[in-house]
Amino acid sequence: MKKLIYLLTILLVTLNSCEKSSSSDPFELDISSMELVTVTNPNDSGEGSLRWALDLDYPRHIVFSFSGTIELEDDIIVTQPEFYIDGHSAPAPGVLVVGAPLIIRTHNWLVEHIHWRRGDINFTSRGDCVSLNGTECYNGTLDHCSFYWGLDETVGINEVGRNLEITNCIIAEGLSYTNYVPGEPEHSKGMLIYFEVKGLLIARNLFINNRDRNPLFQAGFSGEFYNNISYNGEYPPCLSRSTRPESDEIIPHTVNIAGNTSYGFTNGWKFRYHNIHPSSRIYMNDNNYDTIHGSFDGTLLTQPALTPTYEILPREVAEAYVIENVGAFPEARCNTDQRVIDFYVNKEAGFVFDESNPVGIIDSQDEVGWDLFPYSEGD
């Protein structure tokens, strides 16, 4: 749904039931005050392109006059703040961007209703499909997007600031035998949350057909993980060690994990822990994996570790909600999004990952087809 005003206000309150304050701080993005900028062509660069619109140095509400495929020759690196990519302004099935990543290194932004597929081309570019990167990256939301075919991660979050959200997205089919990462031929990664990420919300997403990182939270993560579905891979969602590998510095986790569903991994369904320090505080509730799996010495709480900043649906309600609403254009899904939704609904890989027959894990997008969108002008 188009938004005239996007307002995200988070109240910092202290509840008796919570061990910590909210993971986020208040911020406000007023789209109504932004200048309207129209992407008029699917070119990689030049006036009227998506790259041109994102390079503008003033607050901009970016809309599209067409639906179709934008084929990138190189990374789009965004450093200018205050923007809204309004993918829903395009006629269905929307805008598909292929061939190189979106890298956001700035603040106060919203990206909605965009299809983004990295693919095994342009190997000199960054391997992620989308990357949130650096301390200037804060106050931002990826909502109702579809991300596929990363060479490293499909979604990477690295040394960012606070107040980031990833909601209602598909994170799917990280490519396996790309040789993009030397020594890791079987890569296929979903989402990596790097060290000491604070104030991150991940809610109502579908992680599907990634061998690993569905997602993976590294040391010092403080945030919320609600109502997500993870399906089919070698490794399920994982909260990793509480120390940096290059030192023995202890960086504890503070996390709410609630209302999530996980199936089809090597040991069935679970949430995996790896070397969690006693000072970490973890709240788990209403997941289909509320027992502890792995090396966990942290404190398991009966009340939220952080004041929830997002509505937590009951798990069974959430599972149906995600299937109905996830992705870039849920009301008019493209063939690729519908294919992975059907894969999950039909449990095509079963309930335990079979390494001898890794159904759904792909080496290249060529195995399933690019499913490019034809160019079409809007009304």
* Residues carrying an active site annotation: 213
- Residue 87 is classified by DSSP as G
Residue 150 CA to residue 142 CA, distance in Å, equals: 17
Cα gap 9→28, rounded to integer Å: 6
The tokens for 5 are 């005003």
DSSP H stretches of helix in 48-105: 50-55
Q: How many Cβ atoms sit within 10 Å of the Cβ of residue 267?
A: 12
C-alpha to C-alpha distance for 102 and 94, rounded to whole angstroms: 17
Q: Strand, coil or helix: what is 365?
A: helix
Residue 140, CA distances (Å) to 14, 67, 160, 208, 301 in order: 24, 24, 11, 24, 29
Other beta carbons within 10 angstroms of residue 215's beta carbon come to 28
DSSP string over 118-154: --S--TTS-S-SEEEESTT--SEEEES-EEE--SS-S
Tell me the residue type at 270: K
Between helices 315-325 and 335-345, what is the axis angle to 10°? 150
Q: What angle do CA 137, 142, 145 make, to 5 degrees?
A: 145
Q: Contact at 8 Å (CB) between 62 and 174?
A: no
Q: Locate all alpha helices (DSSP H) within the chain, ordered by sequence.
A: 50-55, 315-325, 335-345
